[in-house]
Amino acid sequence: MTAAHFIDYLNPLTYMSHAQYMSLWRVLFQAVLQGFWAKFFASFALFLAFFIGVYRQRIVAGVLLFFLSVAIAYGGCMLKFVLGL
Amino acid sequence: MSQKDGDKSNDITPIGLGGSIRPKSFIDVVSIVQNYFLAEKHGNDLPENLLTLKGKIVISEVGFKGAFISGLVSILLTPFFVGVIERYIPIFGSYEFTLFDQAFAVALTLSFAMGYSLILASIGRYYIGKLSKRAINWLMAGLTVAGVLKIIIAFVFYNTLYASVLDQGRVARFLLWFYPQVSYQALNKIYRFVMGVKPVLLTSASFVVLTTFLMITIPWLFIFTASRKTRRMIERERIWR
């Protein structure tokens, strides 16, 4: 396999259309950042943030998990706002 | 693995903060307080000068820095939470708020400050001897000063945003810079959103006072409870001996 073939292989647009690619990301974001799974992941991340940050006193990991929880909670509406424009 | 001679990891000799060791993080302060606690645990008196003025300032600096950063995060997050409660800002990508959504928004907003307070409170079990108490008091003094500063910054920031930065004419002029690259409908949508959300800033200012009060009082409650527990434990140890 040549380097050019390898680069082509890494480009997802070689085996799916632009519309399919965008809709894949949209579905993925909607699944993770909206509805039940968003609530589940955000709550779990917040719980882990307290468990790891406060109980185990790994402060940096706790802070990162807290920001992950914020990103999941508000990421869905940010994305909706941007895509809705 | 066996301990090598000269390994300082198990050294319980109290460290003079006036010396070369300067605590940079909360963990460093905990280890200093632990050293004082271990020395004072059985009624040994340590010289008061062991905790120098520089040491006290350095310890309060650690408390201040963490609380100040957590305060800034709270200042940024509070309008989002109040916006969710007042149904201006969606959470989890939806405007149909359930009780869970609103409770989660409250938890998320309080959690950074509360988390930091609880980490500080974990030092409470060492609040026994004279020097340990003094070191913890200075740590808490740093937290309290940061809390008061947070309230002042929040009030100035939110009120400046409300009264000056987000003035109707100013926002309209700013948004018009993006026309015609961004459509008029989109700019109008942003304008209406910003004007609708604006009152949230005033509620947020009052909310910050409440969270700061909790941030300062919760560690003290935990410290007094934990220190009483440790004291009872030490008394029990004495009786058994």
CB pairs under 8 A between A and B: 71
Which of the four pLDDT bands, split at 50, 70 and 90, describes residue B151? very high
**Amino acid B214: pLDDT:** 85
Q: Quick one: B191 exposed, middle or buried, by C-beta within 10 A (0-12, 13-18, 19+)?
A: middle
A72: DSSP letter: H
A81 SS3 class: helix
At CB < 8 Å, which residues of chain A contact B?
30, 33-35, 38-39, 42-43, 46, 49-50, 53-54, 57, 59, 62, 66, 69-70, 73-74, 76-77, 79-80, 85
Tokens encoding A40: 């589940």
In a structure prediction context, what are the per-residue pLDDT tens digits for chain A, which is 85 residues long?
Answer: 677 777 777 888 888 888 888 888 888 887 888 888 889 999 999 999 999 998 888 888 998 999 999 999 888 777 777 765 4
**Amino acid B4: pLDDT:** 43
Which of the four pLDDT bands, split at 50, 70 and 90, describes residue B21? low
Our CA-based measurement puts residue B70 at a distance from the nearest CA of chain A, in whole angstroms, of 10
**Amino acid A85: pLDDT:** 45
More confidently predicted of B91 and B149: B149
ipTM greater than 0.95: no
Give the per-residue SS3 of B9-48: HHCCCCCCCCCCCCCCCHHHHHHHHHHHHHHHCCCCCCCH
In A, which residues are within 8 Å of B94 by CB distance?
34-35, 76-77
In A, which residues are within 8 Å of B181 by CB distance?
none
Contact B119 A66 (CB under 8 A): no
B85 SS3 class: helix
**Amino acid B241: pLDDT:** 67
More confidently predicted of B14 and B91: B91
> What gap in Å lies between CA B19 and CA B240, rounded to an integer?
38
**Amino acid B8: pLDDT:** 45
Our CA-based measurement puts residue A5 at a distance from the nearest CA of chain B, in whole angstroms, of 38
- Comparing C-alpha atoms, which of A27, A34, A28, A26 is closest to residue A72? A34
**Amino acid B53: pLDDT:** 84
Our CA-based measurement puts residue A23 at a distance from the nearest CA of chain B, in whole angstroms, of 17
Our CA-based measurement puts residue A6 at a distance from the nearest CA of chain B, in whole angstroms, of 38
Tokens encoding A17: 């259309």
Lowest mean pLDDT among B4-8, B49-53, B163-167: B4-8
More confidently predicted of B177 and B3: B177
At CB < 8 Å, which residues of chain B contact A?
25-27, 77, 80, 89-94, 100-101, 104-105, 107-108, 111-112, 115, 118-119, 122, 182, 186, 189
Our CA-based measurement puts residue A19 at a distance from the nearest CA of chain B, in whole angstroms, of 22
Average pLDDT, chain B: 82
Residue type, B7: D
The segment with the largest mean pLDDT, out of A67-71, B9-13, B114-118, B224-228, is A67-71
> What gap in Å lies between CA B178 and CA B208, rounded to an integer?
34
Contact B93 A39 (CB under 8 A): no
Phi-psi region of A11 (alpha: psi -120 to 50; beta: other; left: phi over 0): beta
Contact B186 A85 (CB under 8 A): yes
Q: What is the CB neighbour count within 10 angstroms for residue B58?
A: 21
- Comparing C-alpha atoms, which of B115, B136, B116 is closest to residue B125? B136
Tokens encoding A77: 């509406």
- Comparing C-alpha atoms, which of B90, B101, B190 is closest to residue A77? B90
Q: Encode pLDDT of B26-77 as tens digits.
A: 778 888 888 888 887 776 777 777 888 888 888 899 889 888 888 888 888 8
Contact B92 A46 (CB under 8 A): no
Which of the four pLDDT bands, split at 50, 70 and 90, describes residue B117? confident
Tokens encoding A21: 């690619």
Q: Which whole number is the average pLDDT over B168-174?
A: 88
Lowest mean pLDDT among B13-22, B70-79, B93-102, B211-220: B13-22
Our CA-based measurement puts residue A40 at a distance from the nearest CA of chain B, in whole angstroms, of 10
Contact A57 B122 (CB under 8 A): yes
B36 CA to centre of own chain: 24
Tell the residue number behind the tokens 């109707």, with chain if given: B168
Which of the four pLDDT bands, split at 50, 70 and 90, describes residue B96? confident
DSSP string of B95-112, one letter each residue: S---HHHHHHHHHHHHHH
For residue B91, which phi and psi values (nearest 5 degrees)?
-125, 145
Contact B93 A80 (CB under 8 A): yes
Share above pLDDT 70 across residues of chain B, in percent, rounded to a whole number: 90
Tell the residue number behind the tokens 């909310």, with chain if given: B207
- Comparing C-alpha atoms, which of B167, B154, B191 is closest to residue B79? B154
